[in-house]
Amino acid sequence: MTFAATVLTLYPEMFPGPLGVSLAGRALNQGTWSLDTVQIRDFATDRHRTVDDTPAGGGAGMVLKADVLAAAIDHARALRPGCPVLAMTPRGKPLSQARVRELAAGPGITVVCGRFEGFDERIFAARDVEEVSVGDIVLSGGEPAAIMALDACIRLLPGVMGAASSGTEESFENGLLEYPHYTRPVEWEGRTIPEVLRSGDHAKIAAWRKQRAEEDTRSRRPDLWERHVGARAQSASGARQKNEGPGS
Ligand code: SAH
């Protein structure tokens, strides 16, 4: 089944962009996923094809108009009725690998790219739209964020990464960062590859990787580590309760 990507943007020429090369590009050519862009400006109703207006209450910049956005979203929804609609905004819920996995398993996604100061807030009450952020940074437009979200989905589609990886050992898949990698030469600028990785002892290697994934997550991403430890404690206490049975 083809994963349908639909992008609502004022700059359709930005697509496929980076998604047209390498793994995603090959998959696009092979029909693993499809790409349609919708020009938001086509849904403006006045002679000047206006898509934005000044912010109510004053302040810098311009705001994308709710009526124009709604018309563009309704059009896209009619094109791809089964696809969730995501709006890219720093005010949204941070995109997670778990959500990416869910999206990649579905029929596709429709992504709305903001510009200027962003969207008229009423669009989120009036339409079923998931507000998504790609990090605590501010971009000049939603297009690079859409490319990130799409890239993360596309690499998970069946056949895209090949046998190289099911992706299950990667960062965030089990709530941890991935362990570090090394490749030949064994010695480079006086630094050697950790001995254990050259031992051929698969159990030892697995243990070392698990330990490094945990250590690095704890030191680099205390937020992830806290959540991981919390989830582990919860699943352990859940298992205990189950074993103890009702009423005990
Ligand atoms: N005034 C807004 C920022 C607007 S940036 C604010 O302070 O929240 C312009 C557009 O870029 C946004 O509408 C959004 O579509 C996109 N964008 C910027 N940063 C983003 C991020 N971290 N995640 C997703 N989209 C982002």
- Ligand 1 atom with minimal separation from the 134 CA: 23
Residue 114 is labelled as binding a ligand: yes
CATH superfamily of 176-244: tRNA(m1g37)methyltransferase, domain 2 (1.10.1270.20)
What is the pTM for the complete model shown? 0.94
Report the topology of domain 3-154.
Answer: Alpha/beta knot (3.40.1280)
In 87-221, which residue ranges form alpha helices assigned H by DSSP? 97-104, 122-126, 143-154, 202-220
Q: What is the pLDDT of residue 247?
A: 52
pLDDT-derived band of residue 248, with 50, 70 and 90 as boundaries?
very low
Q: Do domains 3-154 and 176-244 have the same CATH topology?
A: no
Phi-psi region of 186 (alpha: psi -120 to 50; beta: other; left: phi over 0): alpha
Mean pLDDT of the chain: 95
How much is the average pLDDT of 130-144? 98
Whether residue 216 has its Cβ less than 6 Å from ligand 1: no
Question: Is residue 6 classed as helix, strand or coil in its secondary structure?
Answer: strand
Per-residue pLDDT tens over the stretch 67-114: 999 999 999 999 999 999 999 999 999 999 999 999 999 999 999 999
Whether residue 16 has its Cβ less than 6 Å from ligand 1: no
Whether residue 89 has its Cβ less than 6 Å from ligand 1: yes
Per-residue pLDDT tens over the stretch 155-213: 999 999 976 555 677 889 889 999 999 999 999 999 999 999 999 999 999 999 999 99
**Where along the chain do its domains lie?**
3-154, 176-244
State in Å: Cα 118 to ligand 1 middle: 6
